[in-house]
Amino acid sequence: MKKAFITGITGQDGYYLASLLLEKDYEVHGTIRRSSSINTPRIDGLISEHQDDGRLKLYYSDLLDSSSIYSLIDNIRPDEVYNLAAQSHVSVSFKNPVYSTQTGTIGSVSLLEAVKNVDKEIKFYQASSSEMYGGGSKEPLNEDSLFDPKSPYAASKVFAHNITNIYRDSYNLFCVNGILFNHESPHRGETFVTRKITRALGRIKLGLQSKLTLGNLEASRDWGFAGDYVEGMWKMMQLDTPENWVLATGKSITVNEFASLAFDYLDLKSEEYIETSEKYFRPNEVDFLLGDPTKAKEKLGWTPTTSTEDLVKMMVESDLNLAKRESVLIKEGLIKPTWENPI
């Protein structure tokens, strides 16, 4: 039975990747950060499902604690390591640049050092990001396109990407970088713009919220479904030769267009409910990102199977159900609205 080690297992990608690997009969090991609040809601179902067979094991650790990381890799001896952990919100990285960059830089080096010193046969995946490109080009971006990071988050990802290449070339390690363009789902964090849209939409439809406040409506992104993208991650790790890969849909739409698709699905007009505020604009905007997944399609046999419309439908239906539960709890006096623009 193969073993996989996942940092960031409690995040969106961690959930989908762990689910995929468990389906493929892996033994999955993941790290979670110590916190005063419970931070495993995305994977609670997986924990419950595998509490008897022991194929999902969790450990308290932090990427900034290199000795802890080394000890875990040494004791587990995984076949594959997936580094998904990060402070992944671009706007937050401007407000908390030190922690954001430390996690992306020190964390990746700690993992690579552990792999190098424990067992050079361990395969390593680094989660790179389309934010590294900076959004200055309207052309489709591929594995050879130049990076021009516009945020502390993106700068830390460029470092992690480059150090992964260096360890691959210097120590003959199996190290791959997956440059994933925006990938969303019902498990996306609620402060990310796509999820903020669908979360607010459910509440607006049920009369729990009056308006949705956003930032740059003309920012354009290549949005896909996270469940499709983790399949690509796994495929990268099954090859004999390590390379870097772009995963994308090859289609870019604006925040405004995404919102319109979502509101249209519930027969509402987005322009009647959306307003903008300067507080949601980034200090340094990335206006346009479009990926070129040609290499992944031709050499990995990977292609996204979920359309933009199906992604929007999936997210809207999930968040409408959440809003229905909130409505019941409000009527019973069990909760009060804590979101923006409540009714």
Task: Compute the average pLDDT of residues 20-49.
Answer: 84
Q: Is 274 helix (H, G, I), strand (E, B) or coil?
A: strand
Burial of 29 (0-12, 13-18, 19+ CB in 10 A): buried
Task: Compute the average pLDDT of residues 85-96.
Answer: 79
Q: Which residue has the higher pLDDT, 10 or 282?
A: 10
Question: Comparing C-alpha atoms, which of 159, 161, 184 is closest to residue 249?
Answer: 184
Would the pLDDT of 136 be above 90?
Answer: no
The backbone torsions φ and ψ at residue 138, rounded to the nearest 5 degrees and listed phi first, read: -90, -5
User: How is residue 49 written in tokens?
Assistant: 């499902």
Give yes or no for a contact between 243 and 175, defined as CB atoms under 8 angstroms apart.
Answer: no
Give the burial string for 293-332 (b: 16+ CB within 10 Å, else e).
bebbeeebebebebebeebbbbbbebbbeebeebeeeeee
pTM reported for the whole predicted model: 0.94
Q: Picking from 12-21, 83-92, 139-148, which range would have the lowest pLDDT averaged per residue?
A: 83-92
Q: Picking from 30-34, 56-60, 156-160, 240-244, which range would have the lowest pLDDT averaged per residue?
A: 30-34
Would the pLDDT of 97 be above 90?
Answer: no
User: How is residue 48 written in tokens?
Assistant: 């419950």
Beta bridge partners of 141: 291
Task: Compute the average pLDDT of residues 198-217.
Answer: 97
Would the pLDDT of 107 be above 80?
Answer: yes
Would the pLDDT of 336 be above 50?
Answer: yes
pLDDT reported for residue 7: 96
Q: Is 184 helix (H, G, I), strand (E, B) or coil?
A: strand
The pairs formed by 48-57 with CB atoms below 8 angstroms and a separation of 24 or more are 50/22, 54/27, 55/22, 55/25, 55/26, 55/27, 55/28, 56/18, 56/22, 56/28, 56/30, 57/27, 57/28, 57/29, 57/30
Contacts of 191 (CB under 8 A, 6+ apart): 89
Percent of the chain with pLDDT over 90: 82
Give yes or no for a contact between 62 and 68, defined as CB atoms under 8 angstroms apart.
Answer: yes
pLDDT reported for residue 272: 97
Q: Picking from 3-12, 71-80, 230-239, 275-284, which range would have the lowest pLDDT averaged per residue?
A: 275-284
Would the pLDDT of 37 be above 60?
Answer: no
User: How is residue 259 written in tokens?
Assistant: 């919102």
Give yes or no for a contact between 47 and 40, defined as CB atoms under 8 angstroms apart.
Answer: yes
pLDDT reported for residue 275: 97
Task: Compute the average pLDDT of residues 289-297.
Answer: 98
Q: Picking from 50-64, 246-260, 280-294, which range would have the lowest pLDDT averaged per residue?
A: 50-64
Question: Comparing C-alpha atoms, which of 190, 197, 187, 223 is closest to residue 84?
Answer: 187
Task: Compute the average pLDDT of residues 217-237.
Answer: 98
pLDDT reported for residue 35: 59
Per domain, the residue ranges of the chain are 3-184+223-247
Task: Compute the average pLDDT of residues 255-261.
Answer: 98
Give the tens place of pLDDT for each residue, 13-34: 999 999 999 999 999 999 988 7
H or E, element range at 162? helix 152-171
Q: Which residue has the higher pLDDT, 92 or 138?
A: 138
pLDDT reported for residue 116: 98
Q: Any idea which residues carry the catalytic annotation?
A: 129, 131, 153
H or E, element range at 225? strand 224-225
Contacts of 254 (CB under 8 A, 6+ apart): 217, 218, 219, 220
Instruction: Band the pLDDT of 36: cuts 50, 70, 90.
Output: very low
Task: Compute the average pLDDT of residues 60-81.
Answer: 94
Give domain 3-184+223-247's CATH architecture: 3-Layer(aba) Sandwich (3.40)
Instruction: Band the pLDDT of 306: cuts 50, 70, 90.
Output: very high
